[in-house]
Amino acid sequence: MRIDVLTLFPKMFEGPMGESIIGKARDKNLLEINISNFRDFADNKHKTVDDYPYGGGAGMLLKVQPIYDNLKAIEAKAPTVKKRVILLDPAGKKFDQSIAEEFAQEEHLVFICGHYEGYDERIRSLVTDEISLGDYVLTGGELGAMVMIDATVRLLPDVLGNETSAQTDSHSTGLLEHPQYTRPAEFAGMKVPEVLMNGNHKLIESWQLKESLRRTYLRRPDMLIKFPLTKEMEKMLAEIKQEEKK
Catalytic residues, by residue number, are: 90, 117, 154, 169
Q: How far is the CB of 95 from ligand 4GS (least distance, A)?
A: 8
Task: Tell me how long the chain is.
Answer: 246
Q: How far is the CB of 135 from ligand 4GS (least distance, A)?
A: 7
Name the residue nearer to ligand 4GS (CB basis): 89 or 211.
89
Listed in sequence order, the residues at least 6 apart from 35 whose beta carbon sits closer than 8 Å to its beta carbon are 4, 5, 7, 10, 13, 17
Q: How far is the CB of 190 from ligand 4GS (least distance, A)?
A: 38
Cα–Cα dist 79/211, whole Å? 49
For residues 163 and 124, the answer to whether their CB atoms sit within 8 Å is no
| Buried/exposed 9-26: b ≥16 CB within 10 Å, e otherwise | ebebbeebbeeeebeebb
49 is in an annotated binding site: no
55 is in an annotated binding site: no
For residues 13 and 142, the answer to whether their CB atoms sit within 8 Å is yes
18 is in an annotated binding site: no
8 is in an annotated binding site: no
The residues of the shown chain that bind ligand 4GS, judged by CB under 6 A, are 88-90, 114-115, 118, 132-134, 136-141, 144
Name the residue nearer to ligand 4GS (CB basis): 66 or 90.
90
CA-nearest of 169, 9, 171, 2 to 88 is 9
Name the residue nearer to ligand 4GS (CB basis): 106 or 129.
129
The annotation places the binding site for S-adenosyl-L-methionine at 114, 133-138
